Amino acid sequence: MNKYLLEMKSITKKFSGVAALSDVNLAVEEGEIHAIVGENGAGKSTLMNILSGIYPYGSYEGDILFDGEICNFSTIKDSEKKGIVIIHQELALVPQLTIGENIFLGNERLKHSSIDWDETHSSADALLRTVGLAESSFAIIQDISVGKQQLVEIAKALSKNVRLLILDEPTASLNEEDSGKLLDLMLQFKKDGMTSILISHKLTEVERVADHITVLRDGHTIETLSKGSGEISEQRIIKSMVGRELVDRFPKRDHKIGEVSLEIRNWSAYHPQTDRKIVDDVSIVLHKGEVVGISGLMGAGRSELAMSVFGKLYGRNISGQIFLNGQEIKLNSVPEAIKNKIAYITEDRKTSGLILDNPIRVNITLADLIKITNKKVIDSDLEVQYAEKYSKLLGVKSSGIEQEAGSLSGGNQQKVLLAKWMFTEPDILLLDEPTRGIDVGAKYEIYQFINELTETGKSVLMISSELPELLGMCDRIYVMNEGRIIAELMQEEATQERIMESILRADKRGSEKEDRANV
C-alpha cells in the first residue's frame, strides 16, 4: 500500500448553522493524481479552502494530516510552507506585470533587502521551461493567451517548492489543444513524483489522468473510485455524482423549425485597439425554434461576433446588415438590442454577467429596470415579484432572492444569469459558453431549458468550446476560423472529426496564402 501524503478526516464545516460539509474524508497517496468531482454546491471548493487555510483552523471540525503530521493552518501562507499550493479557476495574475514579476509576486527574490531582478528573471525562465512555455519572463501577462497564463500559474506554484498541487477547474477556459497540453504536464509531474489534486467538471479529462476519484454529493463523501478496478468510467462517475444514471446527456427535443428570425449579412468588425479584423464578412441565418452552434478554436472570433451584433458591445468599424423577421434593423447600442428582443449571455458570468456582491433580486432585474420602475423609482414589490418568478423558472437553488449572487455555486450563478436575460423576454438568445464550469446535472437542466425555449418558437445561437455539447444540442453548426465562417454542417452530418478537419484545412489554406504573399 502506498503512503498517504494527505489525509482529511471527518471534516465538517457549517455556514450560519447549515452544513456545507458533513464528516468528509479524503486520502491522497503520494505521487498520484487524485480527482475530486461533484455537482456544483457539493462542497469541493469548501474542502479545498479548508486544506489551504482560507477557512482557518477552528472554523471547522476534523483533522488534516500532511505527511503524517496534524496541521492547523490559519492562513494560506501556513499551507504553502508545507508545500500545498492551490491554483484557483480565476487566475490570480496581475495583467500589467511581467511573467517573472507574477511568478514571484509575494515570494520575491531578494538581495540585500532589494529585489534581485537578475535572479527573478533567470529563475522564472527556468520555471517556464519546466512547464513547457517558450515565452520570455519579460513578457507582459495581458499579452499572452489564457492557456499560457494557466501555465504561468503552474510555474508560480512550482516556485514555492510545491509537494501537493491542487488545480481547480484548470481547463475551464482552455480549448482542447491547450487542455491536452496541461493534462500531459500533470502526467509528467506525476512521473517526477509530484502529487496533484484535480477538481474538474470535464469527466473525460478526469477519466484520462486520475488514479483515484473521490465523489462528493451534498457535502458528503459518497465513494472513492480506483483506476484499474473497472470503476472509473464517465457514466459510473455521473451516477455517483448525481445519485442516478443520466442515460442521455442531451435531452430530446421536438424539432419544429420555422421561418427565418435573424439574418446577419456580410458582418465585419475590427479589434477595439488595433487594425486587426476580428470578424470578417460573416453571414449566418437563424430560424425560429432552432438551436444553431458556432464552433472554433480560441481566438476564432466567435464571442466577438456575438458581442458586435449585440448592440455593437465590442469592436469598432463594424459593418454589415442585420435582418429581424425579414426587416432590416440597426442595433447601435445594447438597449436597442434588448428592445428588439435580442439577449447576449456572456461567457464570463463573474466579471461581465453578474454583480456578485449584490443579491439575486438585483441581478435578475438589472437588464430591464424600466419594467419595474414607476415614475423613475424602482417598485420594490414588483422587483421582488419578478425576481421570485424568474428564480423559480430557472430553478435557482438558494436561501432566497436576497442571497448574494457571489455565494452561489457556479451552476446557480449561471441560472441567475439566464434568469436576468429571460426577464427581458427575448426572442433570440446568443448564448456564449452557457455551461462553462458547471456540473453535468446543472448542464442537463440548462439544456432542458434551451429546448423549452425553442419549442415555444424562440431562436438560440450557442457558442461552445465543447464539441459534444454542440453535436448534442444543435440543429446546425457554423465553424469559424480567424474571424470567418469556413463551414456549415447540418446535425446529421456534423462530427467532431469533420469540424476539426474544416479548421485544419482553413489553417493550411491561410498558411499557403501567407507563404505566397511573402514570396
- Residue pair 354/417 in contact by the 8 Å Cβ criterion: yes
Judge whether 125 lies within some domain.
Answer: yes
SS (H, E, C) 165-200: EEEECCCCCCCHHHHHHHHHHHHHHHHCCCEEEEEC
State how many domains the chain has.
Answer: 3
Residues 197 and 309 in one domain: no
452-467 per-position pLDDT tens digit: 999 999 999 999 988 8
CA distances from 376 to 371, 372, 460 (A): 11, 9, 33
- Residue pair 52/72 in contact by the 8 Å Cβ criterion: no
Mean pLDDT for the chain overall: 89
Judge whether 509 lies within some domain.
Answer: yes
Strands (E), 381-483: 428-432, 459-463, 476-481
324-376 per-position pLDDT tens digit: 999 999 999 999 999 999 999 998 888 889 999 999 999 999 999 999 998 88
- pLDDT of 423 higher than 80: yes
Check which CATH number belongs to the domain holding 126 and give it. 3.40.50.300
User: Residue 461's closest CA among 261, 252, 172?
Assistant: 261
1-19 per-position pLDDT tens digit: 578 999 999 999 988 777 8
244-256 per-position pLDDT tens digit: 665 677 888 888 8
Judge whether 252 lies within some domain.
Answer: no
Judge whether 300 lies within some domain.
Answer: yes
- Residue pair 198/209 in contact by the 8 Å Cβ criterion: yes
Q: What range defines the domain where residue 287 resides? A: 257-341+427-519
Most distant CA pair in the chain, distance: 73
Judge whether 298 lies within some domain.
Answer: yes
- Residue pair 511/503 in contact by the 8 Å Cβ criterion: no
Question: Which of residues 242, 277, 299 is at a domain's end?
Answer: 242
- pLDDT of 405 higher than 80: yes
Q: What is the pTM of this model?
A: 0.70
Residues 23 and 65 in one domain: yes
Residues 160 and 13 in one domain: yes
Residues 328 and 364 in one domain: no
- pLDDT of 514 higher than 80: no
- Residue pair 52/231 in contact by the 8 Å Cβ criterion: no
